[in-house]
């Protein structure tokens, strides 16, 4: 745990750089983690080349889910949507740098799930299922 709640996680949770709402946004998507009631929304702005110029997240959740969202959004600024679509579980785990059990993995991956659902342009309410194995 002392790893789980290492300083970077607590820092991103307390002072997130990407918390907020973009209005207008080019892509907005939101989803819940029904297990714990966490809710996350991500807004993206995309330029003519399909690259992400700005990103923001809002909602509520635990330190792991909120910090993961902040770290994930920080990493995708300037990236092309196609690169985002290719991101997987391991990319997020590498970014946050902590080891998680199966229950908390869902917390950390909620932001990736919401982000990829948005990137694929899926209709609200039909978010994608991530391979968690």
Partner 1 sequence: MNTNLSRLRSDFPILQREIKPGIPLVYLDSAATSQKPSCVLDLMMDYYGRHNANIHRGVHTLAEEATGMYETARVKIGKFIHARSHKEVVYTKNTTESINLVAYSWGRKFLKSGNIVILSEMEHHSNLVPWHILRDAIGIEIRFIPVNADGLLDLAEYEKLLRLEPKLVSITHASNVLGTINPIQDIARLAHQAGALVLVDGAQAIPHFSVDVQDLDVDFYAFSAHKMLGPTGIGVLYGRMDLLEQMQPFLGGGDMIREVRLEGFTTNELPYKFEAGTPAIAEAVGFGAAVDYLTQTGMDVIRQHEVEITQYAYRRIADLPGVKIFGHENLNRGGVIAFEMTGIHPHDVAQILDTDGIAVRAGHHCAMPLHQKFGIPATTRASFYLYTEKSEIDQLILGLLKVQKIFG
**CB closer to partner 1, 27 vs 31:** 31
Handedness of CA 66, 71, 72, 73 (dihedral sign): positive
CA distance 99 to 1: 9
**CB closer to partner 1, 76 vs 110:** 110
**CB closer to partner 1, 35 vs 48:** 35
CA distance 124 to 133: 25
Q: Please, are residues 2 and 94 in contact by the beta-carbon 8 Å criterion? A: no
**CB closer to partner 1, 24 vs 37:** 37
DSSP symbols for 76-89: HTT-BHHHHHH--H
Cβ 117 to partner 1, closest distance in Å? 21
Cβ 83 to partner 1, closest distance in Å? 30
Binding site for partner 1 (CB under 8 A): 1-2, 4-5, 10, 14, 35-39, 60-64, 104, 107
CA distance 67 to 129: 21
Cβ 60 to partner 1, closest distance in Å? 6
């Amino acid at each position: 745990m002392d790893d789980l709640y290492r300083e970077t996680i607590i820092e991103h949770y307390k002072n997130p750089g990407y918390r907020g709402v973009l209005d207008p946004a080019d892509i907005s998507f939101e989803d819940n983690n029904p297990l714990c009631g966490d809710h996350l929304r991500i807004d993206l702005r995309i330029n003519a080349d399909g690259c992400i110029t700005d990103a923001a997240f809002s909602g509520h959740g635990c330190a792991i889910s909120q910090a993961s969202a902040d770290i994930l959004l920080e990493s995708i600024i300037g990236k092309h949507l196609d690169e985002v679509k290719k991101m997987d579980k391991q990319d997020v785990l590498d970014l946050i740098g902590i080891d998680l059990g199966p229950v908390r993995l869902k917390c950390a991956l909620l932001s990736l799930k919401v982000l990829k659902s948005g990137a694929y342009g899926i209709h609200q309410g039909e978010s994608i299922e991530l391979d968690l194995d």
